Amino acid sequence: MKNKKYFRILAVLFLALVFSGINSISTAEETGIGEKFIDALESNNEPEMKAIVKNNKDDIPGEVKALVEYAMSLEGEPDKSGYFLNIAGVMATVYDNEFKDDRLQKFVIANIDSLGKKAEKKTEKKASSADKIKDELVSLGKGEWIVTNFKVDNVSDVKIEIGFKETGVAKNVSFGDSKKAKEIVLKYIPNAKGRIDWISGGMAMKAVLLE
C-alpha cells in the first residue's frame, strides 16, 4: 500500500514535469488531467475515467506516450514500471472505447511485450551464467566440491554454498582456490556482491566476500 501511494505521487509529479512546458496551455490544466485520471482509476470510477478521456481527446496520446516511455526507462524496477504501464494501458483502453482508435493501446501492448522479452532474456542469461559458474567451481574443486546452494537476487546479489563429497572430514580450502572461485563468479556476474561459503558438517570452513 505504501508503494502504491509513493508511485501515485511519483506519477503525478512526473506528468507535471513532462507537460509543464508544452505549448501555452497552463501547467495546472495539464497536470490536472493525469491526476484526475489516476484518482478515478484508483477509486474504480469508470464514468469519471471516460469523462476525463472524452473531454481531453487531444491531450491523452501525449500522456500515454510519456507514461510508457518513463516506464520503459525504469530498468530494474519492475513494480514501478508496472504501475506506470498500468495507468497508460487503462488510459489507452478508455481512449479506444471512446474514439474507436486502438493505436495507443497497441503502442502500450507493444512496449509491455518488449519489456517481457527483455526480462526473459535476463532470466535466461542469469540461468546460463549460474550453470557455468557451478561447472567451473566443481572443476576447480577437482571433483571434491558440490555446489549445494546458488542464489542470485536483484541481478547481482549472490549467495553460494559449497559442500564436500566426502562428509565428516574437515577440508582445507586454500587461499589460491578461494581467490579463483571469486574470480569465476565475477567473470560471469561482474558486479556481484555477496559471498561464497565452504561448509562441512554444518560448519563454515571458509568464506569469501564478493565486492
Report the C-alpha gap between 21 and 18 in whole angstroms: 7
Site of grid cell 530494474: 76
Q: Reduce the DSSP state of residue 190 to 3 states and report it.
A: coil
* pTM (2 d.p.): 0.52
β-partners of residue 157 are: 153, 193
Give the DSSP H/E element, type plus range, for residue 148: strand 145-153
Domains of the chain: 2-101 (no CATH), 125-210 (3.30.300)
Span 143-184, pLDDT tens digits: 889 999 998 876 678 999 999 987 656 578 999 999 999 999
Where residue 204 falls (left for φ over 0; alpha for ψ -120 to 50; beta otherwise) is: beta
What tens digit of pLDDT does each residue of 86-128 get? 899 999 999 999 999 999 999 999 998 888 877 777 766 666 7
